[in-house]
Chain A
């Protein structure tokens, strides 16, 4: 019998097909740091038929909000999100890049009006998807390091 490197979980979320090396960024998006009450399993550099190498993140007892999935799409557009309920896959979702990234990125331009206390959320327009290029709706600047500007 083939040994599983990552054991099944009872309830929670499995984020699969993350591009190799991006797992830690996914953890950051999910806010997984010191104060986590459930088990988190990370598998890095796992062989994958489709991708060559991939990362996997499993978070027990937690299902992700749409906004969290949108954020993952920014750095791992190939990822799949499986919702696990009672050891079986209850929902399988492929992340998808929205045309507009609302409230999930911070503009890198310090003089952009979206970085002030005006009552608006940041908004970026997706100009290209592969590789991902986004432009601030307010100041028209292209965001250079997208992963570093996820809120």
Chain B
């Protein structure tokens, strides 16, 4: 495996098992710094550009937190109003300019393939922070970190991905990576929001086991991890149909009666009504910890890419 230094982070598919392992271990070492218990200056003097062509709360703030915790600094924009982009500048030109101002670029863009394009025009490393319905590799890595940190391993874990599996971008990369790492998958969604054929094809090509279901009740007994995603209202032409579907994928205390004692429930957030608030107080709920994990995981990546990491 070539080192991480100077490398683009575009898709989870570019990561070998060894790469993922290196990031997860580095992230764990970052926890004391991420929580403010230890001070690090490892990226002092380094500048990170965050180009958010689309609004984002968690991803942008956790990148800023990660860079600042390591002693580096951040510049950038969120939303394109008032920037040269609003005047019609191409992404290629924006990237060529920003590359000269900083040591690495974090990009969130509404179109698929934007990060790969940006990487072609930039000598400095580009980190994909979400490109349309495409990839969001740092989210995938923080999801993997959360499972690994809570469960200690991937092999043999029964992971149920629940909700909008068709359009939900976080579940595609995660399904691919989990299959690669040896987890047993269940895809639970309404018939209209099933996992895309390509992803199922990739899981099958690796000869890995998975099942599909339309009801949470069908998977709750076996699950070690329940990864819940938001079902978006705008995917349904009929609001009544939405209410019906959304209601049937709700995780509440009643459903959890049948769950394993050490089941963990994850969610990329923001949630609307997929998880009942009373679930937050149970030991199963790890979604806020998962959101925090974005910081050490992004610290690990920044340190590996920009610092003197392995």
Contact = CB atoms under 8 A, between A and B. Distances in A.
Interface of A: 109, 111-114, 116-120, 136-142
B134 to A, nearest CB: 6
Contacts of A142: 198
Contacts of A141: 112, 198
A141 B111 CA distance: 13
Contact of B91 (A109, A112, A113, A139): A113
A112 B92 contact: no
Contact of B113 (A113, A117, A119): A113
Contact of B135 (A118, A120, A137, A140): A140
28 contacts: A111-B110, A111-B111, A111-B112, A111-B132, A111-B133, A112-B112, A113-B109, A113-B112, A113-B113, A113-B117, A113-B131, A114-B113, A114-B117, A116-B90, A116-B111, A118-B92, A118-B117, A119-B90, A120-B92, A137-B113, A138-B112, A138-B116, A139-B112, A139-B132, A139-B134, A140-B113, A141-B112, A142-B198
Interface string B90-127: 11100000000000000001111110110010000000
A120 B120 contact: yes
Given A119-B90, A138-B112, 18 more contacts: A111-B111, A111-B133, A112-B111, A113-B91, A113-B113, A114-B113, A116-B90, A116-B91, A117-B90, A118-B91, A118-B117, A120-B92, A120-B117, A137-B116, A139-B113, A140-B11, A140-B13, A140-B135
A117 B89 CA distance: 10
A141 B202 CA distance: 13
Contacts of B132: 111, 139
Question: Chain A binding site: helix, strand, loop or mixed by DSSP?
Answer: loop
Interface in B128-167: 131-135
Contacts of B131: 113
A111 B135 CA distance: 13
Interface of B: 11, 13, 90-92, 109-114, 116-117, 120, 131-135, 198
A109 B110 CA distance: 13
A114 B132 CA distance: 13
Contacts of B198: 141-142
Nearest to B91: A118
Contacts of B110: 111
A139 B132 CA distance: 9
A26 to B, nearest CB: 30
Contacts of A139: 112-113, 132, 134
Q: Which of A113, A116, A137 has the most CB of B within 10 A?
A: A113
Contacts of A140: 11, 13, 112-113, 134-135
Contacts of B111: 111-113, 116
Contacts of A118: 90-92, 117
A142 B114 CA distance: 17
Nearest to A107: B113
Contacts of A111: 110-112, 132-133
A118 B134 CA distance: 18
Contacts of B133: 111
Q: Which of B117, B120, B133 has the most CB of A within 10 A?
A: B117
A112 B113 contact: yes
A134 B117 CA distance: 18
Nearest to B114: A113
Contacts of A138: 112-113, 116-117
Contacts of B90: 116-119
A139 B112 CA distance: 5
A141 B114 CA distance: 14
